[in-house]
Amino acid sequence: MSTASRIATAAIVALAVLQLAWHGWLSPPREADPWALALFFALPILPALVLALLRHRRAGFWGAVAALLYFSHGVMAAWSTPGEGWLGLLQAALSAVLVVAASWDGMRGRFNKPRAPPAI
């Protein structure tokens, strides 16, 4: 497992834990059951979390797909909710780290290929 895969796995776990902590404990909603809402917000990252725990090679990809949703939500929460701004920024930062880590090996492989000599 490469360093980028380890970082992606750590970011997947961190995003899942952040969802449970944010909506279940740190800033629970007043109108709904906090843990039901926390599980609802954790649903998009759960497939990637299961794949990461199974050490599947596609865990980073599915985590990055879910991270796009979390990034959007984090920016929106940081912008619109004054008391939860730091949680939104943390979520957006973890999402960005996950997307970069999940695509790092592929980008490195693409741009570090030796170029073929020009044909004559």
**Residue 11 domain flag:** yes
What pLDDT sits at residue 119?
77
**Residue 90 domain flag:** yes
The tens digit of pLDDT for each residue in 18-60 reads: 999 999 999 888 899 999 999 999 999 999 999 999 999 999 9
The DSSP call for residue 45 is G
Taking each helix axis from N to C end, the angle separating 59-80 and 46-53, rounded to the nearest 10 degrees, works out to 140
Burial class of residue 117 (count of CB atoms within 10 Å of its CB; 0-12, 13-18, 19+): exposed
Whole-prediction pTM: 0.89
**Residue 117 domain flag:** no
Distance in angstroms (rounded) separating the CA atoms of residues 3 and 85: 30
* Count of the separate structural domains present in the chain: 1
Domain limits for position 41 = 3-111
**Residue 77 domain flag:** yes
**Residue 45 domain flag:** yes
**Residue 116 domain flag:** no
**Residue 79 domain flag:** yes
Burial class of residue 111 (count of CB atoms within 10 Å of its CB; 0-12, 13-18, 19+): exposed
The tens digit of pLDDT for each residue in 69-97 reads: 999 999 999 999 988 899 999 999 999 99
**Residue 120 domain flag:** no
What pLDDT sits at residue 113?
73
Distance in angstroms (rounded) separating the CA atoms of residues 42 and 64: 14
